[in-house]
């Protein structure tokens, strides 16, 4: 315990994991520290919808008395209220499902528990993981949005309530709240993580990932979710063993919409990565990714939420109702055309990585917007989500209002381990 230099609730997940594995700290103390932080801060941040304090403390005591269970042994974590949990209600951020108690954990939750993680509670999701905001506030400024739809998970990690939390992304629901809250957000390649037990919006787009305070944190979580131990290979995080990646600076066709804060972060990154990065433009075939992502999401969400639309329309927000109605107006023939285009575009995107290991791109328009009526624009995330590529947000700057700003790295499909290796190296350069 003497080697720990900061409060337990402030430890990065990988630091806490090492200390727990070596028995330098106890799980019960880490869980208590996080619960104390939640008690102190959640009355104003509103990151949680349900807590599991007594069960978490009981499990922590069991873990301290037994062998190290797995990569996440003793680590507290939170679960977005879109993923089923067998011991806590799952309402999907909607009054329609208030108090619903699933019979089983979502696959991602079960995998985390099997690896020794301790569930502290369910975190706020926007309404059915769409754009209508929940009650969560940005911990850096309570008058600003935390982003969405994984708002509670990002805010809880940013505020020291949790070292790790699960979220999902269909448009920008991992990367954007990570950007607004100043944490690392990781979206694995599409279909690398089982979506069993998660409320479905779009089979083509939905992806489970999570939040931590460092690249090493989300690598731990990613290794558990994907079963790919390459994500936590020690050589990934060894400055002597790792070499500089080839970085493509991909501002995207929507760069003109980035505000001054993102532009300054971009300039800072260009300077820090001089000699390792060069500009790369998306080919003409990939210029309309945002519009296609919107069409695919609207069509599939409108049908995934058909029951709610038909039987509970009075309990849906006007913004979600409008999206569902727009989605139902898209024909099946148009959607079939879009799916063929998606398959083609994913093939074309592979060529982006012939001369680059990763692409650096904007995460958000800028700082978290003021006000709580919206969760911000996922513009800079939509295209990468449509392509199914792994993405990670790296926080390293501050905007005009002192709120976090950063950029995302994008990797080749299914090479999540290489993305994380590059992200660790890049983040070190950006935060020097």
The token duo for 261 is 């804060």
Beta strands in 13-145 (DSSP E): 48-51, 76-80, 118-123
pLDDT, tens digit, 9 for 90 and up, residues 270-282: 999 999 999 999 9
Tell which phi-psi region holds residue 227, choosing left (phi > 0), alpha (psi between -120 and 50) or beta. Answer: left
The catalytic position among 94, 153, 173, 189 is 173
The token duo for 394 is 């790296």
Enter the DSSP assignment of 110: H
Active site residue 199: no
The token duo for 100 is 């619903």
Reduced to 3 states (helix: H, G, I; strand: E, B; else coil), residue 272 is helix
Active site residue 363: no
The yes-or-no verdict on residue 19 having pLDDT over 60 is: yes
State the average pLDDT over residues 343-364: 97
Active site residue 173: yes
Query: How confident is residue 2, by pLDDT bands cut at 50, 70 and 90?
Result: very low
pLDDT, tens digit, 9 for 90 and up, residues 370-401: 999 999 999 999 999 999 999 999 999 999 99
Q: What is the mean pLDDT of the chain?
A: 97
pLDDT in the model for residue 353: 97
pLDDT in the model for residue 88: 98
For the chain, give every domain's residue range. Answer: 10-237
State the average pLDDT over residues 110-121: 98
CA gyration radius, the chain: 20
Q: How many CB atoms lie within 10 A of CB 194?
A: 16
State the average pLDDT over residues 222-234: 97
The yes-or-no verdict on residue 319 having pLDDT over 60 is: yes
Least confident of 240-249, 300-309, 341-350: 240-249
How many Å apart are CA 60 and CA 17, to the nearest integer? 13
Beta strands in 240-356 (DSSP E): 247-249, 277-279
pLDDT in the model for residue 337: 98
State the average pLDDT over residues 76-96: 98
Closest CA to 216 of 27, 407, 375, 18: 18
pLDDT, tens digit, 9 for 90 and up, residues 135-179: 999 999 999 999 999 999 999 999 999 999 999 999 999 999 999
CB 77 within 8 A of CB 30: no
pLDDT in the model for residue 429: 97
pLDDT in the model for residue 243: 86
How many Å apart are CA 292 and CA 344, to the nearest integer? 12
Sign of CA dihedral 45, 382, 405, 168: positive
pLDDT in the model for residue 1: 42
The pLDDT > 90 percentage for the chain reads: 97
pLDDT in the model for residue 327: 98
Least confident of 43-47, 196-200, 235-239, 292-296: 235-239
The pLDDT > 70 percentage for the chain reads: 99
How many residues are given for the chain?
Answer: 432
CB proximity list for 32: less than 8 A, separation 6 or greater: 57
pLDDT in the model for residue 179: 99
| Crossing angle of the two packed helices 416-430 and 260-272, in degrees rounded to 10 | 90
Closest CA to 88 of 7, 80, 307: 80
How many Å apart are CA 230 and CA 416, to the nearest integer? 9
At residue 87, what are phi and psi to the nearest 5 degrees? -115, 5
How much is the pTM?
Answer: 0.98
Strands 247-249 and 277-279: parallel
For 150, counting Cβ atoms within 10 Å of its Cβ (0-12 exposed, 13-18 middle, 19+ buried), the class is buried
The yes-or-no verdict on residue 89 having pLDDT over 50 is: yes
The CATH number of 10-237, from 3.90.1150.10, 3.30.930.10, 3.90.1300.10, 3.90.550.10, is: 3.90.1300.10
Sign of CA dihedral 233, 237, 238, 240: positive
How many Å apart are CA 349 and CA 387, to the nearest integer? 7
Which strands, in side-by-side order, build the sheet including 48-51? 48-51, 118-123, 76-80, 164-169, 207-212, 184-187, 391-398, 404-411, 358-362, 247-249, 277-279
State the average pLDDT over residues 319-330: 98
Q: What is the DSSP string of 112-180?
A: HHHTT-EEEEEEP--GGGSSS--S--BTTBTTB---SSSHHHHHHHHTTS-SEEEEEESSSTTHHHHHH
The catalytic position among 94, 125, 149, 202 is 149
For 35, counting Cβ atoms within 10 Å of its Cβ (0-12 exposed, 13-18 middle, 19+ buried), the class is buried
Closest CA to 76 of 42, 24, 32, 138: 32
């Amino acid at each position: 315990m003497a080697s720990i230099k900061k409060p337990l609730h402030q430890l990065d997940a990988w630091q806490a994991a090492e200390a727990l594995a070596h028995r330098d700290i106890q799980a019960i103390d880490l869980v208590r520290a996080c619960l104390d932080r939640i008690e102190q801060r959640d009355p104003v941040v509103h990151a949680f919808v349900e807590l599991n304090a007594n069960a978490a403390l009981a499990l922590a005591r069991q873990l301290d008395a037994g062998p190290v269970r797995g990569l996440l042994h003793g680590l507290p974590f939170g679960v977005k209220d879109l993923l089923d949990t067998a011991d806590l209600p799952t309402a999907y951020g909607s009054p329609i499902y208030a108090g619903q108690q699933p019979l089983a954990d979502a696959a991602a939750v079960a995998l985390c528990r099997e690896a020794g993680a301790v569930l502290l509670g369910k975190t706020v999701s926007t309404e059915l993981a769409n754009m209508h905001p929940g009650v969560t506030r940005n911990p850096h400024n309570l008058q600003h949005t935390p982003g969405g739809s994984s708002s509670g998970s990002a805010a809880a990690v940013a505020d020291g309530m949790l070292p790790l939390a699960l979220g999902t992304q269909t448009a920008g629901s991992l990367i954007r709240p990570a950007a607004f809250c100043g944490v690392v957000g990781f979206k694995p390649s599409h279909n690398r993580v089982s979506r069993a037990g998660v409320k479905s919006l779009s089979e083509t787009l939905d992806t489970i990932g999570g939040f931590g305070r460092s690249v090493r944190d989300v690598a731990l979580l990613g290794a558990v979710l994907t079963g790919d131990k390459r994500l936590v290979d020690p050589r990934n995080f060894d400055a002597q063993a790792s070499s500089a990646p080839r970085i493509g600076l991909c501002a995207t066709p929507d760069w003109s919409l980035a505000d001054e804060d993102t532009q300054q972060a971009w300039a800072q990154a260009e300077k820090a990565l001089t000699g390792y990065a060069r500009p790369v433009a998306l080919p003409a075939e990939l210029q309309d990714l945002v519009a296609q992502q919107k069409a695919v999401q609207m069509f599939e969400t409108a049908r995934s939420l058909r029951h709610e639309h038909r039987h509970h329309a009075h309990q849906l927000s006007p913004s979600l109702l409008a999206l569902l109605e727009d989605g139902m107006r898209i024909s099946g023939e148009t959607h079939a055309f879009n799916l063929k285009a998606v398959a083609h575009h994913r093939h074309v995107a592979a060529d982006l990585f012939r001369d680059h290991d990763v692409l650096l791109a904007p995460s958000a328009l800028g700082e978290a917007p003021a006000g709580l009526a919206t969760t911000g624009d996922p513009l800079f995330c939509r295209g990468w989500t449509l392509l199914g590529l792994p993405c990670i947000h790296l926080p390293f700057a501050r905007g005009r209002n002192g709120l976090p700003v950063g950029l995302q790295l994008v990797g080749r499909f299914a090479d999540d381990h290489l993305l994380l290796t590059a992200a660790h190296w890049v983040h070190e350069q950006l935060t020097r």
